[in-house]
């Protein structure tokens, strides 16, 4: 389907949905449809999203050292489980991370029993299969694509830039009252409109927030983690995403929230532009994630910056740069800088590790 036509179809579908819902929907409903509406939403359409020809880059595409380091972490978790372990990756993108992890674990004689990929996009599933067939065809039998969570899972769950794509609700403060911010229809155009009051006392303290303060909250985190916990026998969950703790997330100076859109490597803040053709994300409130995780049954075992996690797990030891050509050394170094420097991904991206109660305590970094 041609892109302008698909965009028009999705907008029409959303307009019809708004009319059926009485003229107004929450932003979370809009985001869900813009990203995940079958055949039309951003993540389930056939457009190229990751890489130079897409809309954004992810860490596995920036440097193979990222995935190679995660492989070392996975190996340590395997040693700490009481039964054969597997890997479950949410939204495996182009398949690059899966291939690099499997090839690294093969070299270390620590292959998982299975490498599961939970993917909602048929287009991404095809790209992942192409990548894995090309890079590690001899390991393809270990890889299983899923549409739902596996049962009785043991091993490592990897969620790299997954939480930021969960639909969020928006709110705006008016006269010390928090009003939900949503989408309405006016003259056949989608517009912003405030809805009814919403109680955010369990989310944040708004007493120090000025009128007009806008931000997000994500109720979808708890059911996502609860379902994940229910599906696991033993193991860890590694959450990697950009975000903050709550006191930073709802800082008075962050008065327009964290909502961002990505279209052809350009970032902007208007989700009503390029509907279905652009990514829509929000930073992660890791305090809320930790609370939801513990409520679900997990224990929070680690939280830090991406830079600290990767260095602790040996990213600087992964490649002997002296064996590379000068051009390869430059590319490798540039990739590490993007992953580790505070001005790049090193500080903004955080890593949180969750454990099941049955998980042994002897996971250790290099």
- Residue 207 within a domain: no
CATH number at residue 350: 3.40.50.12710
| Max CA distance (Å), the chain | 65
Q: What is the pLDDT of residue 325?
A: 75
Q: What is the mean pLDDT of residues 226-249?
A: 97
The 3-state DSSP class for residue 14 equals helix
SS3 227: helix
Q: Is residue 226 part of a domain?
A: yes
Cα 14 to Cα 45, 181, 233, 359: the distances in Å are 16, 16, 40, 44
Whether pLDDT at 145 is above 80: yes
Distance CA 351, CA 342 (A): 14
Residue 145: inside a domain, yes or no?
Answer: yes
Instruction: Determine, yes or no, domain membership for 323.
Output: yes
- CA–CA dist 112, 73 (Å, integer): 12
For residue 47, what pLDDT is reported? 58
Domain count, the chain: 1
The pLDDT score that the predictor gives to residue 217 is 97
- The beta strand positions in 28-85, using DSSP E, are none
Q: Which domain holds residue 250?
A: 59-166+219-270+279-355
How far is 142 from 288, CA to CA, in rounded Å? 35
Confidence band for 53, pLDDT divided at 50, 70 and 90: low
What pLDDT is attached to residue 366?
A: 54
Q: What is the DSSP letter of 209?
A: P
Query: Could you read off the pLDDT of 313-356 as tens digits, one per residue?
Result: 999 986 666 677 777 788 888 999 999 999 999 999 999 999 99
Rg (CA), the chain: 21
CA–CA gap between residue 115 and residue 98 (Å, rounded): 8
What confidence score (pLDDT) does residue 307 get? 97
What is the distance between the alpha carbons of residues 335 and 313, in angstroms, rounded to a whole number?
Answer: 17
pLDDT at 328: 75
Judge whether 3 lies within some domain. no
Residue at 191 is within a domain = no
- What mean pLDDT do residues 7-19 have? 93
User: How many CA atoms lie within 13 Å of 245's alpha carbon, on the beta-carbon side?
Assistant: 5
Please indicate whether residue 328 or residue 293 has the higher confidence score (pLDDT).
293
3-state secondary structure 130-195: HHHHHHCHHHHHHEEEECCCCCCEEEEEEEECCHHHCCCEEEEEECCEEEEEEEEEECCEEEEEEE
Q: CA 46 to CA 1: how far, in whole Å? A: 9
Q: What is the pLDDT of residues 162-189, one digit of tens each?
A: 999 999 999 999 998 999 999 999 988 9
For residue 4, being part of any structural domain is answered with no
Averaged pLDDT for residues 271-297: 95
Going by DSSP bridges, is the β-strand pair 284-285/349-355 parallel, antiparallel, or unpaired? unpaired
The answer on pLDDT for 269 being more than 80 is yes
Cβ neighbours of 283 (radius 10 Å): 23
Residue 26 is assigned to a structural domain of this protein? no
- Find the mean pLDDT for residues 105-129: 94
Asked whether the whole model's pTM tops 0.85, one would answer yes
């Amino acid at each position: 389907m041609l892109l302008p036509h698909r965009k028009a179809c999705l907008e029409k579908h959303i307009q019809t949905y708004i009319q059926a819902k009485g003229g107004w929907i929450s932003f979370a409903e809009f985001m869900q449809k813009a990203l995940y509406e079958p055949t039309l939403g951003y993540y389930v359409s056939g457009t190229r999203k990751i890489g130079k020809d897409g809309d954004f880059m992810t860490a596995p595409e920036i440097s193979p050292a990222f995935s190679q380091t995660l492989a070392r972490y996975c190996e340590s978790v395997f040693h700490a489980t009481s039964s054969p372990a597997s890997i479950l990756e949410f939204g495996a993108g182009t398949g690059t991370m899966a291939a690099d992890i499997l090839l690294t674990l093969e070299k270390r004689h620590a292959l998982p029993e299975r490498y599961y990929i939970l993917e909602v996009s048929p287009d991404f599933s095809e790209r992942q299969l192409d990548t894995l067939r090309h890079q590690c065809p001899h390991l393809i039998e270990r890889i299983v694509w899923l549409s739902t969570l596996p049962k009785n899972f043991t091993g490592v769950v990897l969620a790299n830039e997954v939480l930021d794509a969960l639909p969020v609700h928006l709110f705006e403060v008016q006269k010390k009252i928090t009003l939900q911010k949503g989408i309405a229809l006016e003259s056949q155009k989608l517009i912003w409109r405030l809805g009814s009051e919403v109680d955010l006392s369990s989310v944040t303290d708004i007493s120090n927030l000025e009128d007009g303060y806008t931000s997000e909250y994500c109720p979808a985190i708890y059911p996502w983690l609860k379902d994940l916990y229910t599906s696991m026998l033993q193991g860890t969950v590694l959450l990697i995403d950009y975000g903050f703790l709550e006191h930073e997330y709802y800082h008075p100076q962050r008065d327009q929230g964290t909502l961002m859109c990505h279209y052809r490597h350009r970032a902007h803040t208007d989700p009503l532009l390029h509907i279905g053709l652009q990514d829509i994300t929000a930073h992660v409130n890791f305090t809320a994630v930790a609370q939801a995780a513990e409520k679900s049954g997990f224990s929070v075992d680690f939280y830090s910056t991406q830079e600290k996690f990767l260095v602790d797990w040996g990213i600087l030891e992964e490649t002997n740069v002296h064996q590379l050509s000068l051009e390869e050394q430059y590319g490798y170094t540039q990739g590490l800088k993007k992953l580790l420097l505070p001005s790049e991904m090193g500080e903004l991206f955080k890593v949180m590790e969750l454990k099941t109660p049955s998980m042994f305590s002897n996971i250790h970094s290099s």
